[in-house]
Amino acid sequence: MLIPETLQRAIDELSKLPSIGRKSAQRLALHILKSEVVDVQNLSDSLIDLKEKTKVCEKCFNISEEVVCDICKSEKRDKSLICVVEEISDVIAVERTNEFSGLYHVLGGVLSPLSGKDAESLNINELLARVKNGNISEVILALNPDTEGETTSLYLAKLLKQYNIKVTRLARGLPIGGDLEFTDEATIGRAVLNRIQL
């Protein structure tokens, strides 16, 4: 097949992105071909900028444009509360709820022997140091509710206990807007166990 090399290269590069297959990559490339030069330049610049201008906050490991991120710097944040999450995307997810006004700590993953993630490769020592040095009253473990997330939560809870602080983790139960009929047994089971008096 006679596809020009520049088109083939763009398709190849686009299909390296997660959840973009060959067909989607081709559609995106042909869309870019039809776009204005300035739009393509904007897209391209924004990706380069994202990579070059952002770093990781030295306190909480969240994405930041400066050494310390906006959340850690903010005067409005409750600095005695730390919410521990796996990834930067989880910070965005929790921030979107507007229910949390403390600080974050991005672990960079969870304990997973199979994928070679051990305690050393996560930002656990940095978390302990923050708890030790700061005036922290509570650490909320907001890891994913799967086996690895639960294991890591238990591991962290054990480590954090020595500092005499409150350690909590997110509630398990029925998702809002969900349907009891289509909810899995494990979730319903947890919801029954953790039922709340009205």
> Site residues (CB under 8 A) for a second copy?
1-7, 9-10, 12-14, 16-20, 24, 26-33, 35, 37, 39-54, 63-65, 69-71, 74, 87-89, 92, 95-96, 98
CB of 186 to a second copy, least distance (A): 25
**Least CB distance to a second copy at residue 161 (A):** 31
Return the C-alpha torsion angle 48, 53, 58, 63, nearest 10. -60
Residue with Cβ nearer a second copy (35 or 121): 35
The residue (of 57 and 167) whose beta carbon lies closer to a second copy is 57
- Counting Cβ atoms within 10 Å, is residue 64 exposed (0-12), middle (13-18) or buried (19+)? buried
Identity of the residue, 58 or 65, whose beta carbon is nearer to a second copy in the bound complex? 65
* Residue-level length of the chain: 198
- Residue pair 137/81 in contact by the 8 Å Cβ criterion: yes
Q: Tell the smallest beta-carbon distance from residue 42 to a second copy (Å).
A: 6
Residue 45 Cβ, how far from a second copy at the closest point, in Å? 8
How far is residue 54 from each of residues 37, 46, 68, 85, 180, measured CA to CA in Å? 25, 11, 11, 19, 43
| Nearest to a second copy of 69, 160 (CB atom) | 69
Helix-strand-coil split of the chain, %, nearest 5? 50, 10, 40
